[in-house]
Structure 1
Amino acid sequence: MQKWKRVETGDGPRFRSALAVHEAALLRNLAGSIVGMLDARESESPPDELEQITGIRTGNTSTPRDATTLRLLPDFHRREDCAGELPVDADGLNSALRSLHEPGIIDAKRGAAQQVLATVPERGGRFELTEDQANAWIAAVNDIRLALGTVLKIGPEGLDQLPADDPMAAQLNVYQWLTVLQEFLLVALMGRPRR
């Protein structure tokens, strides 16, 4: 991967980079996996009669069963947040908030991943993103890193290295590559045009 280059144009900034063939294939595969997870979660949502009448979408009321999907769609309210306060039905609150907001969150996450799929060059090479596309990439790469970090059990302190013979060493290398890709794009997005 090449560093991102910000180029000012009459239509706003553009963000240019290049990916090797294997990097493009890996990114497409990972973004596709995120879309698949989100589609699976959405399909688990039971049909709602009120939604059919009003057109207002509702989502799942239950917490995702697998850790990776839960990391992408965490609970809105944690039990430990109400320590020392009046008792709160955290499960009921999460259920209601999930039902209301999860469809929109899934749409946003899926849209970001689909933006990566639409813009990453299939055979690698140079490419260019608009500012909106670059923001979608930041969000999608973050979701991919969250999912991969869950598999690797990376906590707040991070994980620097694994022994070379560890079966998860390759996944950690991918996680670190995604971190660099995201950081360089974020730096380019935050860059100011030169005068």
Structure 2
Amino acid sequence: MQDWTRDNDRLVTELEPNEAAVVRGLVGEIKDMLTARADQAPQDELAELTGMRAGPSTPPEESVLARLLPDFIRPERDSFEPEAESADTAGALRSLHEPELIEHKSGVAATVLDTCPERGGKVSLTEEQAESWLSALNDVRLALGTALGVSEEVPDEPPEDQLQREHYYVYQWLTWVQESLIQALSS
């Protein structure tokens, strides 16, 4: 992949076929996870009448999805409320806001899938599409980082396990792609 560059009002790069496959595959996996989570939303007659959506009131059990859809408040940090009330508030906030968050994350993923050529080649984005790419790439990096246990304390050396090592290199490559796109947007 080449660095992202600005061509008038477009941001452009070239993706090799394997690079396009990685981006499309990982973004597609995130979109599928979010769709599965949205399908867990309770069916509410009032929501159907009013158009107000409600999502699950409990956080996802899977660590990757929990990282992508964090609590809107943290009961242990917001000690102004008793623990039970704080948990109720967190559940209510999640139920109200998670559908919008899933819709946004799914939307940016769809933009990447629509603008990333299946077999590689030139990618040409508007600034709005580039912002979607940044958001979707960030979600993929959060998911990979969670799965790999990446933290500030983790050294720059990849893990010893071969499969984790390959995923770690993908994580680093996506970091570079994201940084390159940010620089192009800033220029």
1:129 is displaced (CA, Å) by 0.4
In 1, distance between residues paired with 2:166 and 2:176? 16
* 1:17 partner SS: strand
- Where in structure 2 are the equivalents of 1:92-171 lying within 5 Å? 92-163=88-159, 165-171=161-167
Question: Counterpart of 1:34?
Answer: 30
Question: Counterpart of 1:2?
Answer: 2
1:20 is displaced (CA, Å) by 0.6
How much identity, in percent, do the aligned residues show? Answer: 46
Unaligned runs of 5+ in 2: none
Task: Tell me if structure 1 keeps the 8 A contact 2:148–2:168.
Answer: yes
In 2, distance between residues paired with 1:36 and 1:42? 10
Q: TM-score, normalised by structure 2?
A: 0.94
Q: TM-score, normalised by structure 1?
A: 0.90
2:50 to 50, 54, 58: 54
One-letter code of the match for 1:176?
Q
* 1:6 partner SS: strand
Task: Tell me if structure 1 keeps the 8 A contact 2:56–2:94.
Answer: yes
Root-mean-square deviation (CA, aligned residues, Å) is: 1.4
Structure 1 stretch displaced more, 49-58 or 14-23 = 49-58
Unaligned runs of 5+ in 1: none
Task: Tell me if structure 2 keeps the 8 A contact 1:161–1:172.
Answer: no
Cα-to-partner distance string for 1:145-180 (whole Å, 9 max, x where unaligned): 000111001123454122455430000000000000
* 2:117 partner SS: coil
In 2, distance between residues paired with 1:96 and 1:183? 36
Question: Counterpart of 2:82?
Answer: 87
In 2, distance between residues paired with 1:49 and 1:157? 48
Instruction: Count matched residues.
Output: 186
1:42 is displaced (CA, Å) by 0.4
* 1:75 partner SS: coil
1:79 is displaced (CA, Å) by 2.4
In 2, distance between residues paired with 1:161 and 1:93? 41
